[in-house]
Amino acid sequence: MTAPSTGTHRIWSPDTDPFERVLIVNAHPDDVDFTCSATVATFVDLGIDVRYLIVTNGEAGGSDRSQSRTEMAQIRQDEQRAAAASVGVQEVIFLGYPDGRLEPTIELRRDISRVIRRLRPDLVIAPSPERNWWVIYASHPDHLVAGEATVNAVYPDARNPFAHPELLEEGLEPHSVANLWIMAAPESNIAVDITDRFAAKVGALACHKSQGGDHPDIEVRMREWGRTNGSAAGLLEGRMAELFWSISTG
């Protein structure tokens, strides 16, 4: 999940980027906790309203072939709700698309736009629609599709009154998202110092027992990843970061 440094990282501060509402879109239950749950904990501590939107139902997770996929989906969704609560997020929205078979349809763009119009966030954080050859597992096909659909929902769909007219019929007025951050992108240009909230990330991951999030090696791996990111962002030695590609959507 580490993106190569551009050498020009900006360190996020609430003084320069004073967000009030943040929506984080991911393909699967647990994606947000691997990628940016310490950033979420940092935001929540500052009083920022953070919500999660999970596109698929998660039924393709795990490795037990005897377990029904319906049961697995429910387990993973319950794990994601618990992980969200552990970092102070109270709402997790599941769109229920099939895990592992996500496609970049106009319906997916509409469904993400619907949530954006309802919640009206200042910032949307989304998966990268570009494959990251540095970290291939970050570029699961569902991640790429969820990223592409979310970027299209941010611009132009959610702000365009003539896109998805059924949303207007539902009473959902257009909303322009001012800021977009991309996770696990090929490059990054903004960093959140997560050193003081790293334990929250480990705790959130531990909720995902069905996916091995409570494995003893997780903390070691995440700490190494965070320090590598911190070094790439120019933080002091030993400090940890989560990295994003930041775009102002004007």
Confidence of residue 6 (pLDDT cuts 50, 70, 90): very low
Q: What is each CA distance from 228 to 133, 147, 182, in whole angstroms? A: 17, 24, 18
User: What confidence tier does 3 reach under pLDDT thresholds 50, 70, 90?
Assistant: very low
- HSE of 190, CA atoms in CB hemisphere, 13 A: 18
Q: Which residue has better confidence, 168 or 4?
A: 168
Residue 159 has pLDDT above 80, yes or no: yes
Least confident of 47-56, 61-70, 213-222: 61-70
Please report the pLDDT score of residue 69 as a whole number. Answer: 87
Sheet of strand 21-26, all strands in order from the earlier edge strand to the far edge = 5-11, 188-193, 241-248, 179-183, 123-127, 21-26, 49-56, 92-97
Instruction: Give tens-digit pLDDT for 136-151.
Output: 878 899 999 999 999 9
Average pLDDT estimate for 189-193: 98
pLDDT at position 7? 56
What would the mean pLDDT of 7-28 be, rounded to a whole number? 94
Q: Which range, of 3-12, 79-88, 148-157, 186-195, averages the lowest pLDDT?
A: 3-12
Q: What H or E segment, with its residue span, contains residue 206? A: helix 198-206
CA–CA separation, 182 and 25 (whole Å): 10
5-248: CATH architecture: 3-Layer(aba) Sandwich (3.40)
Q: What is the DSSP string of 169-192?
A: HTT-------EEEEES-SSEEEEE
Domain extent listing, the chain: 5-248
How many percent of the chain have pLDDT more than 70?
A: 97
Of 181, 242, 245, give the one whose Cα is nearest residue 2.
Answer: 242
- Is the per-residue pLDDT at 73 higher than 90? yes
Mean pLDDT of the chain: 94
Query: What mean pLDDT comes out for the span 210-232?
Result: 91
Asked whether 38 and 67 are in contact (CB, 8 A), the reply is no
pLDDT at 99 over 70: yes
- List, for residues 110-137, the tens digit of each pLDDT value: 999 999 999 999 999 999 999 988 888 7
Task: State how far the Cα of 114 lies from the Cα of 160, in Å rounded to an integer.
Answer: 12
- The answer to whether residue 64 scores a pLDDT higher than 80 is no
Say which range, 61-70, 159-168, 197-206, has the weakest mean pLDDT.
61-70
Give exposure, 14-24, as e/b (b: 16+ Cβ within 10 Å).
Answer: eeeeebeebbb
Check pLDDT > 80 for residue 238.
yes
